[in-house]
Structure 1
Amino acid sequence: MTDQTIARQVDEFNAGFTAQIGPELSAVFDGEQADLRAAGVPDGVVAVGDEAPDAPLVTPTGSATSLADVRGDAPTVLVFYRGAWCPYCNITLRTYQQELLPALRERGVQLVAVSPQTPEAAEQSIANGELAFPVLTDPENVLAGRFGIVTAPSDAARGAHTRLGFDVADSNADDTAAIPFPSVFVIDAAGTVRFADVHVDYTTRTEVAEVLAAVDEQLAPAS
């Protein structure tokens, strides 16, 4: 157990990261995050009460599947993340593995994570967090697009990434830099979205307590 919120872990990471990369690159990422917050959540995001879209997905071993196939008839917490290259994603997925997954299993709810990265990179995500839930590839962000949450790093941020030795497009299955906003959707057994939380600022995430509160409120059997 981490015994810490994701936000606190992010704060601790940021302190070291800022010191490591220096003020110039830190200012680039701070500016990107400020712009994202100012723009807000885009129009057209799948909302509570909507039917969850479906799209083809790929397993880490390269097998074809889809969100509908993975969900089956089980209520599902669907997590969109940017990729194994994103430290905030790694913090989040590791925390979900340690603290969210056991609680969901007790409730008969499954956890599924999706990103646009290659299956090989998805394997890295699994290794980073010792993940024991499905981690799937969304080629060309088709599923993320149907959920209305596709974005991309700013040009300045991509330049900063290059100076740090990587490029998002190198990890993505379609060789573009398109990525989803980090998001959590709770989908009931009938395929209806019952909770939606989209984070345009990629340094913030849905906390475990928030997910469990939504699951308990929205998926509890009627009395």
Structure 2
Amino acid sequence: MSLQAQLDAFKADFEAGKPPYNVPPAVIKTMHRATAELIASGAADRALKTGDQAPEFVLKDPEGNAISSADLLKKGPLVISFYRGVWCPYCNMELQALEAAKPEFDKLGASIIAISPQTAPNSRKSVRQNNLTFPILSDPKGDIGAAFGLRFSLPDYLVDLYKSMKNDLPNFNDDPAWTLPMPARYVIDRDGIILYADVNPDYTLRPDPEDMIPVLTAAT
């Protein structure tokens, strides 16, 4: 089953309010409103695209080790997934799909990393929960996400909803600002040029890892 098919199946159960989710229709309506407004804002159009130069960065993994994008690019192309956090089931399903595709990426000499604004303990939870073997990096205050044009501020009504659901982003991210990155997937070549970019303000839509294989094959 493709990643998107898995996401669609989860979404159908979640939005139908089936156990164990039991989500009220009013909550789903608010989430739909926020997604529609983010799409209408054109934020995704302002994110970095294919052909753009990717910014260099150094971020830490959950154990405090500094991971440099420049060092990774010396080895080959780099796959980057920007995700919202371990609290997001859609993100966790994407991370699992990327882990399943990692052997194919390895064959093509590509490195893979995932980036979120969450703290190191939450990144460790991402690794454990999803049985990951690739680096999960913390992006304090979402600065690298912003450099890629992905960071956005949650509207007040969505902040209120998150608070009511005990989804405390300031605690998850150690940042008082209620911001998140739009989910995004990039492939960057050795020269730092973006070869593949998928940015979607609808967090329930994610590209299949296999979509990047032709790009990685051409880059090797």
Fold-level similarity (TM above 0.5): yes
SS at match of 1:174: coil
Read off the aligned partner of 2:117 and give its amino acid letter.
P
For the residue of structure 2 that corresponds to 1:185, the secondary structure is strand
Corresponding residue number in structure 2 for 1:198: 199
- Structure 1: runs of 5+ lacking an equivalent: none
Rounded to whole Å, the distance in 2 between the matches of 1:142 and 1:14 is 30
For 1:96, which of 74, 95, 98 is the aligned residue?
A: 98
Aligned to 1:125: 126
**TM-score, normalising length: structure 1:** 0.89
Residue among 39, 45, 48 paired with 2:47: 45
Q: Equivalent residue of 2:205, what SS?
A: coil
Match of 1:67 in 2: 69
* Cα distance change of structure 1 residues 34 and 140 upon mapping to structure 2, 3 Å threshold: same
How far residue 43 of structure 1 moved from its aligned partner, in angstroms, is 4.8
The answer to whether the aligner puts 1:115 opposite 2:116 as a matched pair is: yes
Deviation of 1:38 after TM superposition, in Å, equals: 2.1
Segment of structure 1 superposing worse, 111-120 or 174-183: 174-183
Instruction: Tell me the equivalent position of 2:10.
Output: 13
Find the aligned partners of 1:75 and 1:133 in 2 and give their Cα distance.
15
Separation (CA, whole Å) in 2 of partners of 1:178 and 1:158: 10
- What number of residue pairs does the alignment pair up? 215
Alignment deviations for residues 143-174 of structure 1 (CA, whole Å, 9 cap, x no partner): 11111111133322222222222222211143
Which is worse superposed, 14-23 or 132-141? Answer: 14-23
Paired amino acid for 1:109: A
Q: Distance in 1 between matches of 2:158 and 2:74?
A: 38
Cα offsets for 1:51-81 (capped at 9, x unmatched): 2202331110123343323444321111111
Instruction: Provide the rounded CA distance (Å) in 1 between the counterparts of 2:108 and 2:67.
Output: 25
Residue 21 of structure 1 aligns to a residue whose secondary structure is coil
For residue 14 of structure 2, what is the amino acid of its counterpart?
F
Question: Cα deviation per residue 1:178-218 (whole Å; 9 max; x = unaligned)?
Answer: 211111111112222111111111111121221223323x4
SS at match of 1:195: strand
TM-score w.r.t. the length of structure 2 is 0.90
Tell me the alpha carbon deviations over residues 70-122 of structure 1, each in whole angstroms, 9 at most, x when there is no partner.
44432111111111111110011011111x21111111111111111101111
Alpha carbons 1:55, 1:142 under 8 Å: kept: no
Moved more, 74-83 or 153-162: 153-162
- From 57, 74, 88, give the equivalent of 2:59: 57
Q: Which is worse superposed, 88-97 or 149-158? A: 149-158
CA distance in structure 1 between the aligned counterparts of 2:134 and 2:32, rounded to whole angstroms: 32
TM-align CA RMSD? 1.8
* Runs of 4 or more consecutive aligned structure 1 residues displaced over 4 Å after TM superposition: none
Of 4-13 and 34-43, deviating more is 34-43
Q: Structure 2 CA distance, aligned partners of 1:79 and 1:133?
A: 11
The aligned residue for residue 22 of structure 1 is 24
Q: Which amino acid aligns with 2:162?
A: H
